[in-house]
Structure 1
Amino acid sequence: MSVFLICMVIALFCFNCKTQTNQETQNQKTLFNDNWQFYLQENEEVSLGELPEAKWKSLHLPHDWSIEGKISKDNPSGHFGGYFPGGLGWYKKSFEFSKAWKNKMVSIIFDGVHKNSEVWINDHYLGKRPNGYVGFSYDLTPYLIEGQNSILVKVDNSKQPNSRWYTGSGIYRNVWIQAKNKLSVPLWGTFITSKNISEASADITIETSIMNHDSKSENVEVLFEIYDMNMKLVSNAKVAGLVESQDTLKLSQSAQVINPKLWSPESPHLYKLVSTIIKGNKVFDVNQTSFGIRSIRFEAETGFWLNDKNIKIKGVNNHHDAGAVGAAVPDDVLRRRLEILKEMGCNAIRTAHNPFSPEFYKMCDEMGFMVMDEMFDEWVASWPWVEYKNRGKVDFGYHLDFEKWAKKDLTSVILRDRNHPSIIMWSLGNEIPDQCYPEGPERLKPLLKLVHDLDNTRPVTAGCCFMHLANDSGFSELLDVAGYNGGGGSVFYEKDKAVYPNRKFIATEIPHSFQTRGVYKTITEMRSPQQGIPVPNLTEVEVFPEFSGFYSSSYDNSSVRISARDSWRRTDSLPYVSGEFRWTGFDYLGEAIKGWPSRFFNFGIIDLCGFPKDTYYFYKSQWTDEPMVHILPHWTWPGKEGQTIPVWTYSNCDEVELFLNEKSLGTKSNKGKLNLSWDVPYISGTIKALGKNEGRVVSEQTYHTAKKAFKVEVITDKSEVLADGVSCVHLEVNILDENGNFVPYADNLIKFEIEGPANNIGVENGDPLDLASNKINQRNAFNGKCLLILQTTKEPGKIKVNVRSEGLETGEVFILSKLSA
């Protein structure tokens, strides 16, 4: 029997499959994204019986209707939502009852619906879930019928604003159908922890719930088998128990892994637990759970430790949208974004300010990102300078649902995510105004207890601005690790360290710096410099007056309270500060703090297209070891001949030498420096930086002054792609001159002609002021660049894209879409 089971489990074992199937039990978890119909309601008074048949359109999930809509100053989302539309939408799907579901428990799982979703199956009401970011499921079993069945979902995102950023609207994450035996492991029913971790061994504790929906009690055995990434069995154990009818049994079992391979950002090794429920000679369920073995701890004097190594958290905050595709983010788009961060040296991400998709955590596990998993942006209260009432940051935000739903939503997130080794902290909120009041600690205590009860292996934090008020209320002292946001002068840790010597520190949201790709200003723009470390002007008179006030300087002299350089210098030099999560990694839609007509503000060090800005290379110089040097600004400034331009370099080399038209402007030591600067009178030609170690050139960057735009260059991230209806290709478009030099000021209108089995799912250029649709086959270049994202259909074939611009030489690419890799 044991040989049979082991062979069967190995055959089933798959680290990356989207459908989990067992032939004997026919338990399944299957994507349910295809062939939905959607109707965007125009009249708020429409009832279920009045839904018009003629106005439904066919689509595949995930789907975000806001990104498809028109940006307008009149949209009630306002600057919070980037002036995108909300609304009320309906989704429906008809499907055939599967013979494989006979005598099974069948459920539908939604990974995310924004927001206020209500679900019906065959006209039976299943329930409501207000939170737009939390996954949930419903049992369909009692209502399914032989033959045709129908799911109906109402999504109400009409009350705006309900967030301080762009949320998207609709069923914007995956939907699944799961069929399981009546005796099986329920959704999120396994919890795996590790302790006593050394090079020699690690003790694994497995807690598993067994549900029994049958009419009689059952004696069962559960076989636990742990496999490494090479599918090698490394440990096993067995436990038995009696599961009462219509009840759930919780079992706990220990196992040991010899010579464990520890999970870390440099070596993200994963294990797979296969849990098999057996009664007699019959297998009732096979459940798979990915996990990692690693130890974490925060120390008051030395900060963060991973696997007994003291390291700095080098993190970014990110929102859940991805620019041109809105909130419905395909896996390939998400993975590309993570790869860009990884190349920069980033090792951690804070989910600002809500749980992300399951695919995000899976990728972080696989790629080696540590995660601060955050839950809320508001609880109940408003800020102290507003008349104190039970209201939140925006009119229709989560404060309306907090009292009824907070514990249930929090429980769902902890149970879903707690097996991910990437998650090193839970965050209960971001800049929660309640922190400033006596009620704040009282609201915090039950949430803390709930998290600790569900998972006592990770610390709990919250991002606190106005830390002096959180200190006065006692809020910050209740946290396992105190999270410092930059607001209200919360950038000086030394004062709190003296008062609270046992406090554990993490910079949850510092710094807030602004930059627009390709934009430079020499006069500093800082908000609240008196509460931080001011950055002096680079020149007495602005060298670049031509840039709009809606755009921000890429010199790291545009920020709130503290620059990127000063923030990291302090974080890196104070051993008790565990690390920092800067605001933000990527630009994100909404929170357009300068107002109409901008659809976002440029907090990111990477733009909406995924194109790095100059500050990206500052972090790369501090967070990576492979020799690099980066120059800013570019060297195409017609009309500025003779004007002195500050030229900076970011580098991790020992020294940097700068050349202008092959003449050396001097070598400067880079040791202990965060950037180097030369004042260079502008003359067209070539500027070059050489990074040197021990006098030897190990890195180089060169800019050539560009002539007028001459041709379109297209760069794809794939030449071959799967014809699966979900895979994506990114096409980076650059405007070049006749010599192949990048034209950094080009704004030509780019038109895309797409032939073959692929669809345009988004165009973008990174310009906050470009209000054109993301869903049409054209886009103006912004500072020389734009992006097209294609998604395949399920038909194989050759994809051809012509990229045209009037008066320019055309760019052309071919991509092969195949049925298998």
Structure 2
Amino acid sequence: MKNSHKKITLLLMTILFIGCNSETTKKELIRQKLLFNSDWQFQLFESDSVSKNELVSTEWKPVQLPHDWSIEGTISKENPSGHFGGYFPGGVGWYQKSFKYNPDWKNKLVSITFDGIYKDSEVWINNHYLGKRPNGYVGFSYDLSPYLKSGNNSILVKADNSKQPNARWYTGSGIYRNVWLEIKNKVSVTQWGTYITSSNISKENADIRIQTSIGNKNAEDHLVSIQIDIYDEKNQLVLKEELDNVIPSADTISIQHQVQVPNPKLWSPETPVLYTAVHKIFQEGDMIDMDSTPFGIRSIRFDAETGFWLNDKNIKIKGVNNHQDGGPVGAAVPDDVLRRRLEILKEMGCNAIRTAHNPFSPEFYQMCDEMGFMVMDEVFDEWIASWPWVDYKNRGKVKYGYHQNFKKWAKRDLKDVILRDRNHTSIIMWSVGNEIPDQCYPEGPERLKPLLEIVRDLDATRPITAGCCFMHLANDTGFSDLLDVAGYNGGGGSVFYEKDKIKYPNRKFIATEIPHSFQTRGVYKTKTEMRSPQQGIAVPDLTEEEVFPEFSKFYSSSYDNSSVRISARDSWRRTDSLAYVAGEFRWTGFDYLGEAIKKWPSRFWSFGIVDLCGFPKDTYYFYKSQWNDEPMVHMLPHWTWPGKEGTIIPVWVYANSEEIELFLNGKSLGVKSTNNKMNLSWDVPYTPGELKAIGRTDGKIVSQQVYKTAHKPAKIEVISDKKEVAATGTSCIHLEINILDKDGNFVPYADNLISFDIKGPAKNIGVENGDPLDLSSNKINQRKAFNGKCLLILQSTKKEGEIIVDIKSEGLKSQQISISNNNLPSNN
């Protein structure tokens, strides 16, 4: 997978930075796309009280983009973001960058692209106002060419995130995604100007339709020769197409090619094969533009009776919802951090991700293409209306939310997202809304129709959905009938599908957001905590009296008995057993900042099956047992419970082998079959020692797990995901910290304060422990362990050398780790 990624990256770099062909006398570059993240300066104000003319130059501080100032701030109950934003600060940020004009840019188009600024951004070049974009999740570009001058030029950016709350979760603040400077000739492929689709796929051939938009910013017509080369995943040329066209002056034309790829290799989660289409434009023998587009070949369809089909194979969508933040790094997520998160989901058996509830960074979709994740690309969390029980229906979900911009900006934002993302093979569905209250009103279908038209006009190859809760109201208004696939969220009694299947036999079903289950890593409760069980499937208490009363009410049980309406087990049982339900996207894959349901002092609530550090919780292993065929067994809870000797503890096992045998201190507690069961359970009197589970299939041991009762904390274990990194200034290292006893056993209750002394070419970009109640900064060189674990994320600099980290804690044996920061090829 990584080798494939490197080959694609190398090809794209060659394409982007190659010079003209041998017939060309000029040795200038034909198209450059330059990362524009370095050497920015930043100022932060609490409110929109300072104009650009009042900025004080002495207050600027240097920053490297992407940058999220909220994650650097202090968590406070007084911050107006409140529980929605995890009590992080907002404000108004100003950014500036000076750069020198390159004489080679004369007579060329120079543009700047911001992949994301949160939010209400405004941009100036040399004091010329370029424009405003309110949506903090949608990328945009400005043409700089008319305003550039010889010598120094200055970009100024304002990001206004002072009006809070403006979302139902942590958003981050500032220029939190990449910025690019693009230089190309005046006759060239336009931005997002290539659109590639495949059809009529067989073993012998696949029809590939390539639609290309070519612009001419010159005052005269140009006769050009257009060449399209298609390369396979090994960078071998598959085919070449050529044609001539006249591009009229000051105009843009659309050209369509229909070609056939022989013996196509199909994209799927198991084999994410990508091709690359390279456009070359020649004029009088000289190459004047070169642009490339990766794409995959695959077919998708949803069926009212049999669910989802990929490449004519009926499969279940095994998906998660994710927010875009990266835990301790906030919204400015480095590629290495994002890739690690996706690898964790891949190992579990996850094959799909819903972008909740906004478009993500371009790098996310590139990684999903390369790694084999199917994506539901979602654009909006709100349109205009609020919920029916609110007295005024045109005020959105939060006070300063997108409802203030929907009428003016929704069509533009939606169009830009579709144009940017439609070549990503990973995307299998478009979602135009999540739990849109408008669905409950007669106006809802009328607001939906123009959005459907935009999507179908720009991409008719993928179905359109929306995540609907209160599905009975969406049915009453006709909202759900307009969708290609009806998206069922778990809210408002939208758990059951059978009734709607009878009433709407031709409906196509997808569970867009279900189940909503909670779990805090390392926390267990035997009394069920369930919201609205009468609307779903109730989970009975595990014991009459609570076995673990010591855990805070702010923490949730990892027994899968803390949820909304339905548990993870019951939800997947239903999805898996109903053929017409295409699959499900559970809420959520990872814990995310904000939406702290139980409010202060919690900065988030524990929806994820993986915590903010990237440490899997117990429910992760439930999904692994159902979604992954690699033999595995997982027990819960751990087996270190001082003071509970003799107490009956429910021991659960998730496994995918045929049978499990449980042992306590070498004595068998019995064999149980996993046939048609989501989990196995034994009631075990707690006795310190060794708890072991053995999984057998066909009578052979295929998996096992052992827990040993731990003594008091004695030493630190450090696990690094890398031994060496590339000195790029962007490469990241994840250091997992575990607290062990003198015998090397993990201590699951340890809460020791860990300090980090970092030497060499690296910096701390995030510390975390996964505790919702830990309000300490993510940017300092210490963190308490939470239930035995914490995490440090380092980012290398561009200087080569040895990175040395000393990890210490009072009373524990310390550790030192060394990572080489070398001039290596980067995966980024």
What TM-score, normalized to structure 1? 0.98
Q: Which amino acid aligns with 1:579?
A: G
Q: Name stretches of at least 5 consecutive residues in structure 2 with no aligned partner.
A: 1-6, 21-28
1:392 to 372, 393, 396: 396
Please list the CA deviations of residues 424-475 of structure 1 after superposition, one character each: whole Å capped at 9, or x if unmatched: 0000010000000000000000000100000000000000000000000000
Q: Does residue 528 in structure 1 map to residue 507 in structure 2? A: no
Partner of 1:471 in structure 2? 475
Q: Which residue is equivalent to 2:19?
A: 23
Structure 1 residue 723: Cα displacement: 0.7
The aligned runs of 1:635-650 (5 Å cut-off) are: 635-650=639-654
Q: Which amino acid aligns with 1:85?
A: P
- For residues 263-285 of structure 1, what are the alpha-carbon distances to aligned partners after superposition, in whole Å with 9 as ceiling and x for unaligned? 00000000000011122212110
Please say if 1:793 is aligned against 2:797. yes
Matches within 5 A, 1:165-244: 165-244=169-248
Residue 298 of structure 1 corresponds to which residue in structure 2?
302
Corresponding position of 1:245:
249
Instruction: State the distance in 2 between where 1:12 and 1:682 align.
Output: 54
Alignment partner of 1:355 is 2:359: yes
Over 3 Å counting, the alpha-carbon distance change for 1:801 and 1:19 in structure 2 is farther
**In 2, Cα distance between equivalents of 1:734 and 1:811:** 11
2-structure distance, mates of 1:43, 1:331: 31
Q: CA deviation at 1:43?
A: 5.5
Instruction: Note the alpha carbon deviations across 1:166-203, whole angstroms, 9 max, x for none.
Output: 00000000000000100000110000000000111100
Verify the 8 A CA contact 2:598 2:605 in the aligned structure 1. yes
When residues 18 and 468 of structure 1 are mapped into structure 2, their CA distance, relative to the original with a 3 A threshold, is farther
Equivalent position amino acid for 2:154 in 1: S
Report what 2:312 is aligned to.
308
Q: Contact conserved, 2:33 with 2:183, CA < 8 A, in 1?
A: yes
The partner residue of 2:66 within 37, 62, 66 is 62
Give the 3 Å change call, closer, same or farther, for CA 674–18 of structure 1 in structure 2.
Answer: farther
One-letter identity of the residue aligned with 1:507: A
Which residue of the partner structure matches residue 5 of structure 1? none
Structure 1: how far apart are the matches of 2:626 and 2:762? 40
662, 665, 668: which one aligns with 2:666: 662
CA-to-aligned-CA distance 1:611-638 (integer Å, 9 cap, x gap): 0000000000000111100000000000
Match of 2:700 in 1: 696
- In the aligned structure 2, how far is the partner of 1:13 from the partner of 1:745? 44
Q: Per-residue deviation at 1:42?
A: 4.1
Q: Percent identity?
A: 72
1:343 aligns to 2:347 (yes or no): yes
1:687 aligns with 2:683: no
Instruction: Determine if contact 2:190/2:214 at 8 Å carries over to the other structure.
Output: yes
Where does residue 157 of structure 2 map in the other structure?
153
- Distance in 2 (CA, whole Å) between partners of 1:557 and 1:820 is 47
Which of the numbers 102, 112, 123 marks the counterpart of 1:119?
123
Q: Deviations over 1:527-581 (max 9, x none)?
A: 0000000000000000000000000000000000000000000000000000000
Match of 2:105 among 101, 105, 128: 101
Residue 236 of structure 1 deviates from its aligned partner by 2.0
Task: For residue 414 of structure 1, give the secondary structure of its aligned residue in structure 2.
Answer: helix
SS of the aligned residue for 2:190 comes to: coil
- Residue aligning to 2:548: 544
Q: What letter corresponds to residue 96 of structure 1 in structure 2?
A: K
Alpha-carbon RMSD across the aligned residues, in angstroms, is: 1.1
Shift of 1:13: 8.5
For residue 583 of structure 2, what is the aligned residue in structure 1?
A: 579
Match of residue 145, structure 2, among 116, 141, 148: 141
* Moved beyond 4 Å, runs of 4+: none
Q: How many angstroms does 1:101 deviate by?
A: 1.2
Residues 30 and 287, structure 2, Cα contact 8 Å, conserved in 1: no
1:8 aligned residue: none
2-side partners of 1:535 and 1:384: how far apart? 30
2:392 counterpart SS class: coil
**2:474 partner amino acid:** A
Match of residue 711 from structure 2: 707
Structure 2 CA distance for aligned equivalents of residues 741 and 820 of structure 1 = 36
* 2:422 equivalent to 1:424: no
Task: Give the residue type in structure 1 aligned to 2:17.
Answer: T
- Aligned residue type for 1:236: K
Q: Secondary structure at the match of 1:492?
A: coil
Counterpart position of 1:404: 408
One-letter identity of the residue aligned with 2:588: T
Separation (CA, whole Å) in 2 of partners of 1:743 and 1:775: 26
Change (3 A) 1:547 1:13: closer
Q: More displaced, 97-106 or 673-682?
A: 97-106
Matched to 2:18, the amino acid is N
Q: Does the alignment pair 1:41 with 2:45?
A: yes
Question: Structure 1, residues 736-758: CA drift from partner, whole Å, max 9, x if none?
Answer: 00000000000000000000000
* Offset, 1:147: 0.6
Partner of 2:573: 569
Mapped contact 2:47–2:91 kept (Cα < 8 A)? no
Rounded Cα–Cα distance in structure 2 between residues aligned with 1:19 and 1:41: 42
Q: Name the residue aligned to 1:434.
A: 438
One-letter identity of the residue aligned with 1:20: L
Shift of 1:22: 3.0
Report the TM-score when normalising by structure 2: 0.97
Bigger mean CA deviation after superposition, 11-20 or 775-784:
11-20
1:14 corresponds to which of 10, 15, 38: 10
3-state DSSP of counterpart to 1:337? helix
2:774 to 770, 773, 786: 770
State the alpha-carbon separation in 1 of the partners of residues 114 and 447 from structure 2: 29
Does the aligned pair in 1 maintain the 2:46–2:90 contact within 8 Å? Answer: no
Structure 1 residue 499 corresponds to structure 2 residue 503: yes
Query: Is the 2:609–2:620 Cα contact (8 Å) retained in structure 1?
Result: yes
1:279 maps to what in 2?
283
Q: Separation in 2 of the partners of 1:15 and 1:579?
A: 35
Q: Is it true that 1:131 corresponds to 2:135 in the alignment?
A: yes
Question: What secondary structure, in the 3-state scheme, does the structure 2 residue paired with 1:332 have?
Answer: helix
Following TM superposition, by how much is the alpha carbon of 1:480 offset from its aligned partner in structure 2, in angstroms?
0.3
Secondary structure of the corresponding residue to residue 508 of structure 1: strand
Residue number in structure 1 paired with 2:615:
611
2:637 equivalent to 1:633: yes
Is the 1:26–1:100 Cα contact (8 Å) retained in structure 2?
Answer: no
**Which stretch of structure 1 is more off in the superposition, 25-34 or 585-594?**
25-34
1:425 counterpart SS class: strand
Q: Distance in 2 between matches of 1:100 and 1:752?
A: 47
Which of 249, 255, 259 is the equivalent residue of 2:259?
255
Alpha-carbon separation, structure 2, partners of 1:20 and 1:791: 26
- Gap change, CA 1:783 and 1:15, over 3 Å in 2: farther
- Paired with 1:19 and 1:741, the residues of 2 have a C-alpha distance of 52
**1:738 equivalent among 727, 730, 742:** 742
CA contact (8 A) 1:236 1:255 kept: no
1:47–1:228: structure 2 CA closer, same or farther, 3 Å change rule? same
Bigger shift: 226-235 or 17-26? 17-26
Instruction: Name the residue aligned to 1:375.
Output: 379
Work out the number of aligned pairs and report it. Answer: 811
- The CA distance in 1 between the partners of 2:715 and 2:758, in whole Å, is 19
Does the residue aligned with 1:677 lie in a helix, a strand or coil? strand
Tell me the CA shift for residue 75 of structure 1: 0.2
CA distance in 2, matches of 1:47, 1:187: 32
C-alpha distance in 2 between matches for 1:98 and 1:726 = 26
Query: 2:587, 2:608 within 8 Å by CA — same for their partners in 1?
Result: yes
The aligned amino acid for 1:309 is K
